[in-house]
Structure 1
Amino acid sequence: MDKRNSRLWGRAVRCLASASLGLAAFLAAAPAQASGAAASGYPDKPIRLIVPFSAGGQFDYIARLVAVPLGKELGQSIIVENVGGGGGNLGGAKVANAPADGYTLLEYGGNFAIAKHLTPNLSFDPIADLAPVSGLSIAPHVVLVSSALPVKTFAELLAYAKAHPGKLSYGSPGVGSSMHLTFETIKQHFGLDAIHVPYRGGSNALNDLAGGQIDMGIVAVAPAMPFLASGKIRALAVTSARRAVSLPDVPSVAELGYPGFDSGSWAGIAVPKNTPRGIVDKLAAAVGRAMQDPQVLRALESQSFTPISGTPEQLRALIDEESARYGPLIEKLGLHAD
């Protein structure tokens, strides 16, 4: 190759390289530009917030508490819709299959972080098919008994269960919920004999507990408070490391003989995967501001909830941590669905 052709070849290579770099930069910038464009006009219509459990439970309480201030932050109404069943998986599937446009939100909790371990044949991937937006709150569970049961302390419950083997039942918001797994852990540690009765949500379990259809229950503190005030149920223990602010006279499970025990349920917001990052960030910022509303903070504290709003990455870390925590527990308890 002569010098002239060599120079021309070198120039062509440099031009091609420059063009390739320009194309790569354009392609890299395109998603961000598209995401920003999608977010710029968002939202321009009402947004649905799917609660994957029945009305009246912990998830429903948090969703309805946050919906109004979140709607104000976004300038649109937030319509809360309860889609219970399948331990939350029916509601999760509905959101996973919704358009990835930011108009269908899911109240996401630990039940989804463990669903892959519990039910491997789901119609959707509860982690990969949903994109985290922000945390909302975390709260301890409370162990309850019906007032019809002749026990007033956890020690008396253990003694009663030992004297009446195979007779006691307990309700939870569903198979694979954090309440279910928490109570199964408590059962194993204390040798407590009780049959699990799964419900479509905490409120349904509470209604049957108050009516005497089941003997025990485990739900979040907030939805239990009106039933405790009525005297139809009794609180025997909370599952946080320390006593709950709203139930100062109720001991923790750790105090009762399970050192270091600490468990609770958390809620956050997720959207279908492939939702533009600009929309996700806009939602996360709005959630963060809504969770700092003074009325929201007072209501959370009164029911022993702690706000945990943050970035999508922080919620992703919580999901991964919960999945890693409960996966081995499900194996140990043999709770895999067929």
Structure 2
Amino acid sequence: MKIKTAAWISVLMALTTILTVSQVAAQQGSGASYPDRPIKLVVPYPPGGSTDPAARLLAADIGTRLGQPVVVDNRPGAAGAIGTEAVVRAAPDGYTLLLHTSVISTDPTLKKNASYDIKRDLVPVSLAVTGPYLMVVNPTLPVRNVGELIAYARAHPGKVNFGSAGQGSSGHLIGELFKKAAGIDMVHVPYKGGGPSIAGLVGNEVQLVFDTFGGSRSLVEAGKLRAIAVTSPERSGLMPEIPTVMESGLKDFSAVYWLGIFAPAKTPQAVVDKLYRVLKGSLDSPAVRSRMMDQGNVPQGLSPSEFARVLDGDIQRYRSIIESARITID
């Protein structure tokens, strides 16, 4: 009798273990228990850069909504590759996320020897915001609009230098796109970051930079730089007096940046969906929308599938620019 009782106890314990494991697995698969600890949001750029304010605003708000802290982890280096690789190698459990810019669209073309493949190793969660680039020039350059800039560059081929945050950066690619659309010759000068490129513009080392509003708006308002256009299809509410490139003469020219959230591949779909819903709720809230707009960012909150389509389109678009301009990075 004792043997039978002991056997039944063993069977019951085994069944209890199986049921408990099944319940945990079901919860994890449904995302019901997620998150139960802090989340890391990796930003592959230095602290204080133009991406940081949006990253920290989102991290604080979605952390409150999820009930767990979302900690911004800056991992700069190798043109964004160090931070991206850290996320690719992380466990696919939703606790390590990547906030990257549209520059990641250049990785398949510029970083052919990278240890990761963004299409294979990352899954889109949401395209959070978009924003225009501001065309800013040194005030000593005798131009006040895009038409005058094009005319000046044609009259002085190779004499207009445009700066960027580095070889293959968004500012570099947009500059090459503008050169091609306008049919002009400008010289690219790469700097080690957006801040140094703007310092070079203020010092007249370069005459033109395509920058974010966050990086240049205050300098324009202080009279240290001159804004001649925005690259988006429509004018920006932050500086509505500045015309678009399209209305300034280049009718087919349009370029915007975006900031998007990615997770490691194989992250459970339920977790991805939960993250998207929370991000969408954050971006739809009046408080976050207002602060994003103040930064020059336009909240979007695209779904994972919508974001994937944008990513695919930008990979193709930037590949064309990179190949035609023969851009390479070390």
| TM-score grouping bracket, smaller chain normalisation | 0.7 to 0.9
Deviation at 1:237, TM superposition (A): 1.3
Kindly provide the amino acid, as one letter, of the partner of residue 36 in structure 1: G
Name which of structure 1's ranges 250-259 and 168-177 shifts more when overlaid on structure 2. 168-177
Kept in 1, the 8 Å contact 2:27–2:33? The answer is no
Q: Are 1:146 and 2:141 counterparts?
A: no
Query: Please, what TM-score do these two structures have when normalized by structure 1?
Result: 0.82
Q: Which residue of 1 aligns with 2:58?
A: 66
SS in 2 for 1:135: strand
Q: Equivalent pairs: percent with the same residue?
A: 37
Q: 2:292 aligns with which of 300, 309, 317?
A: 300
Q: 2:26 aligns with which of 33, 50, 64?
A: 33
Q: Which runs of 5+ in 1 are unaligned?
A: 1-28
Q: 1:51 aligns with which of 43, 48, 60?
A: 43
Deviation at 1:267, TM superposition (A): 1.0
Q: Which residue of 2 aligns with 1:24?
A: none
- Give the Cα separation in 1 of the matches to 2:256 and 2:182: 19
Q: 2:211 aligns with which of 198, 206, 219?
A: 219
Kept in 2, the 8 Å contact 1:133–1:268? The answer is yes
Deviation at 1:331, TM superposition (A): 2.3
> C-alpha deviations, 1:16-57, integer Å up to 9, x for none?
xxxxxxxxxxxxx999837426x3332233222122223344
SS in 2 for 1:309: strand
> 1:77-96, aligned counterparts within 5 Å?
77-96=69-88
- Give the Cα separation in 2 of the matches to 1:100 and 1:211: 46
Kept in 1, the 8 Å contact 2:168–2:329? The answer is no
- Give the Cα separation in 2 of the matches to 1:34 and 1:69: 24
Deviation at 1:200, TM superposition (A): 4.6
SS in 1 for 2:313: helix
Q: Are 1:134 and 2:126 counterparts?
A: yes
Residues 167 and 56 from structure 1, CA distance in 2 versus in 1: closer, same or farther, beyond 3 angstroms?
farther
Q: Which residue of 2 aligns with 1:245?
A: 237
Q: Which residue of 1 aligns with 2:319?
A: 327
Kept in 1, the 8 Å contact 2:138–2:208? The answer is yes
Name which of structure 1's ranges 65-74 and 154-163 shifts more when overlaid on structure 2. 154-163
SS in 2 for 1:40: coil
Kept in 1, the 8 Å contact 2:168–2:328? The answer is no
Q: Are 1:275 and 2:252 counterparts?
A: no
> 1:73-222, aligned counterparts within 5 Å?
73-222=65-214
Name which of structure 1's ranges 284-293 and 160-169 shifts more when overlaid on structure 2. 160-169
- Give the Cα separation in 2 of the matches to 1:201 and 1:67: 23
Residues 43 and 31 from structure 1, CA distance in 2 versus in 1: closer, same or farther, beyond 3 angstroms?
closer
Kindly provide the amino acid, as one letter, of the partner of residue 29 in structure 2: G
> C-alpha deviations, 1:57-116, integer Å up to 9, x for none?
432232122121111111122222222333322221221122222222111332112210
Query: Please, what TM-score do these two structures have when normalized by structure 2?
Result: 0.84
- Give the Cα separation in 2 of the matches to 1:84 and 1:146: 29
Q: Which residue of 1 aligns with 2:249?
A: 257
Kept in 1, the 8 Å contact 2:212–2:296? The answer is no
Deviation at 1:117, TM superposition (A): 1.6
- Give the Cα separation in 2 of the matches to 1:150 and 1:311: 45
SS in 2 for 1:128: helix
Residues 324 and 162 from structure 1, CA distance in 2 versus in 1: closer, same or farther, beyond 3 angstroms?
closer
Q: Which residue of 1 aligns with 2:276?
A: 284
SS in 2 for 1:282: helix
